[in-house]
Structure 1
Amino acid sequence: MSNPEILEKAKRIFEDFLLKQGSRKTPERFAVLEELYALPEDEHMDVEGLFLNMRNSGSTISRATIYNTLDLLVESGLAVKHQFKDKVALYEQALAYKHHDHHVCNQCRKIREFSDPKIKEIKELIGKEFDSAITSHSLVLYGDCTIEKCENLPETA
């Protein structure tokens, strides 16, 4: 569920970003921001999902506007874009973002988020080894679903 304080902060940041870029502050852009920030914090959504959610709510927004707005949200630091294996790009909120890594099931495609302090230790060790201040990382683990009767597995013929 959406946190109203985070949403209001995101709107202010986006408005400032658009002003600095010399871009228009359109209601459609802010509607995309609101739709993304209405998702649970750990949910990842693609353009088609956002489009369908917005259309089902009565919006007449185009896919192109959603694509373009998501690019602006990523550029402004308000969204994070992920590309998992053969999946389409997925987006998640960035404002209340706590760094995490991902596990993606090869079979059912379920995405699970996790954090492990050992990864931070590895980053620090690698940073020392290469005399580098590691500023970010991305870790995606892929595995095969072993959950019996997994609800996310595709139907087999």
Structure 2
Amino acid sequence: MANPEVIDKAKKIFEDFLAKQGSRKTPERFSVIDELYALPQDEHIDVEGLFLKMRNSGSTISRATIYNTLDLLVESGLAVKHQFKDKVALYEQALTYKHHDHHVCNQCRKIREFSDPKIKEIKEAIGKEFQSSIISHSLVLYGDCTIKNCENLPQPI
């Protein structure tokens, strides 16, 4: 469920970012924030999915505007872009982002988020070993679905 306070905060941050960049503050750009932040917090969406969602709700926004706006949202820290294996780029909201890692099923393509405190311990150990302050990481685990009758598996024709 969309949190209006979070959306308003995202719009304010984006407005300030655009002003610093000297970029235009168009209604279309802000409508992308509305749609992205209306998604469940753990949902990932591609440009085509966002385009269809917006078109189905009556928007006349172009794919190019969505691409460009998502790039700006990533640059401003309001969206996170993921590239999972052979999939197109997927985006998720970042304002209330808590770091997590991903599991992607090779068969059904479902993306699941997880956090494990042991990963933090590994990061700290690697940082110590390499005398480095680890500031970020990306971990994606790929596996094969073993769920009986998984609703995400492609159905035979």
TM-score (norm 2): 0.99
CA distance in 2, matches of 1:142, 1:156: 23
The share of aligned pairs that are identical, in percent, is 86
1:51 counterpart = 2:51:
yes
Tell me the matched-pair count: 157
1:64-143 residue pairs with structure 2 within 5 A? Answer: 64-143=64-143
RMSD value, Cα: 0.5
State the distance in 2 between where 1:2 and 1:144 align: 32
Measured against aligned partners, the alpha-carbon deviations of 1:96-150 in whole angstroms (never above 9, x if no partner) come to: 0000000000000000000000000000000000000000000000000000000
CA distance in structure 1 between the partners assigned to 2:30 and 2:58 by the alignment: 15
1:156 Cα deviation from its structure 2 partner: 2.6
Q: Distance in 2 between matches of 1:137 and 1:90?
A: 17
CA distance in 1, matches of 2:143, 2:156: 19
Counterpart of 2:151 in structure 1 is 151
Gaps of 5+ in 1: none
The one-letter amino acid paired with 2:32 is V
Point out 4+ residue stretches in structure 1 off by more than 6 angstroms.
Answer: none
Report the Cα distance in structure 1 between the residues aligned to 2:90 and 2:46, rounded to whole angstroms: 5
1:22 deviation in Å?
Answer: 0.1
TM-score (norm 1): 0.99
- Helix, strand or coil: the match of 1:81? strand
Counterpart Cα distance in 1 of 2:17 and 2:142:
35
Aligned partner of residue 141 in structure 1, secondary structure: strand
Displacement of 1:155 in angstroms is: 1.7
CA deviation profile, 1:34-67 (whole Å, cap 9, x unmatched): 1000000000000011000100000000000000
